[in-house]
Chains A and B, each alone.
Chain A
């Protein structure tokens, strides 16, 4: 256990140094904020364009979309922070062989490396939400009573994101350098199926079960229930109570954690067999 903790701490420190030491702190803060805020502004403009030509305003739909998009920052960042570790160490820094043969858990090392990305994402999410409340009139209401539930759901959401990230990392053992494509594609999958920007009910009927099978759907739903009290939008999960949603999130998180262990070990085994642990695939 002590080794795990030590690995986690050291990997987190390493990840932070790698992420932030290329520039001055103020520039790093600006960099961390501009990207998510620009992402939010794409939605703002989409909404604005629609109100100009459609003559229709729906502030509840906008709030729904804005909060979903703000929390989606965790998805892209945490997933990328987790599954890019193998390819960055293997192809870019070419240090994977040294880390891999050291007496640590490689799984825990990957989790540690993702920690700095989660810290930056947390800052970006909070900034985006505050920006929305102050300048875009997003109606967020968070009471102290609801805070423990929000934190618990956040912890579970991040846990499942890490599990999905490690599952993908297991796959990247065998892949050429397509991390960028993966970074764009996998969050895109969740963007569509998990009701991040629009209610699940907008999707065709036959796709909705896919969304319900992904734990992140429940995470986004419970987060919006807490922050957007009394939203009249039918998300397709209105039949479930808050605790039921939390229960579904917990069960699916544990399942994804077990899946991540299995896929990671299997990917690692295949990569070792094929001699791909430290392959280079630049072209």
Chain B
């Protein structure tokens, strides 16, 4: 066995090589972003406006509700006492805070989901189109390290937008979060991210197979996923619709952001928010499901990547563009 072969099969060397690959692939995303600071405006600040629109919708609903209560309407019937009216008013204000907070949390997750779609899932296809993929394939590192580096770099870029959204939610819209269990919240957040980016890694391979359809698929997985995974409203609302509502919610639960958001909303607003009637499962069960999703997506990503690389090489499509 030659010295080079011995070195390549050394575990320490392989771990070090793959870690350097992760850093190497994350590096251009972080540094490239710093060299082109306009992305902070386009991806950090301006998207807040879209979220603000959803906040204002809830506020306009709330204005109508508060006006009705102030006029003496408590639910379906007239208020029977000033105490009942005051209780309804207080509940209406608490509901608005919870709904606006739901939008703000959804807005942070939108940032990660879009990053997964456009900078993870479609990235290998994009690399093929611009001619980098063949270089990656010839390099000696594990392909998962390459995808891992893309994920780490993407998470860094996206975190700026996510943090901007959270800060805007608290400062501009006056959202009040009540975090009773910060460790659990962090666990849910990071497991959701791992599961999401694992899904993105899996899609990255599939997109290589699907070619140009993948680009359109990414576009198609924006609003329909925002809807089915409850990015702007508690997902439990879907389960309140008889028939198709539950089916849509179940499909939406496959995207880890759906259950992740539901758990984070419970952990930041309290399980009694919305009268406790709009949660899908308890936060702990959702965390367990998310762990399973994370493991499954990472394993699937590994197998998809190996299979599609072989397939693409066999069919000679690894470097062919515009297909």
Contacts and interface: CB of A to CB of B under 8 A. Distances in A.
Interface in A224-283: 280-283
Contact of B237 (A39, A45, A280): A45
Contact of B95 (A39, A53, A91): A53
Contact of B49 (A31, A39, A178, A192): A192
A25 interface: no
Given A42-B232, A186-B46, A282-B130, A50 B223 contact: no
Interface stretch (B31-39, B256-264, B297-305): B31-39
A83 to B, nearest CB: 12
Highest count of chain A CB atoms <10 Å: which of B39, B60, B132? B60
Contact of A22 (B28, B213, B231, B274): B213
A143 interface: no
Interface stretch (B193-201, B214-222, B307-315): B214-222
Interface string B115-145: 0001000000010011010000000000000
Interface of B, secondary structure class, is: helix
A186 B79 CA distance: 44
Interface residues of B, number: 67
Contact of A176 (B38, B76, B238, B277): B38
A182 to B, nearest CB: 6
A282 B126 contact: yes
Q: For chain A, give the interface size range.
A: 35 or more
A112 interface: no
Contacts of B41: 185
Interface in B57-100: 57-65, 68, 75-76, 92, 95, 99
B177 interface: no
Nearest to A35: B223
Contacts of A42: 223, 226-227, 231-233
A55 interface: yes
Contacts of A49: 99, 233-234, 237, 274, 278
B317 to A, nearest CB: 16
A36 B223 contact: yes
Given A197-B56, A198-B56, A283-B29, A45 B227 contact: yes
Interface string A15-55: 00000001100000001001110110111011111101111
A46 B43 contact: no
Given A49-B99, A182-B42, A188 B56 contact: no
Given A42-B227, A46-B232, A53-B274, A280 B130 contact: yes
A42 B102 CA distance: 13
Interface string B283-301: 0000000000000000000
Contacts of A185: 41-43, 45-47, 49-50
A50 B233 CA distance: 9
A93 B58 CA distance: 42
Contacts of A43: 57
26 contacts: A22-B212, A35-B222, A35-B224, A38-B228, A42-B227, A45-B232, A45-B237, A46-B233, A48-B233, A48-B237, A48-B240, A53-B277, A54-B65, A54-B92, A56-B68, A61-B64, A91-B130, A181-B46, A184-B47, A185-B49, A188-B47, A188-B51, A189-B49, A191-B53, A192-B52, A280-B130
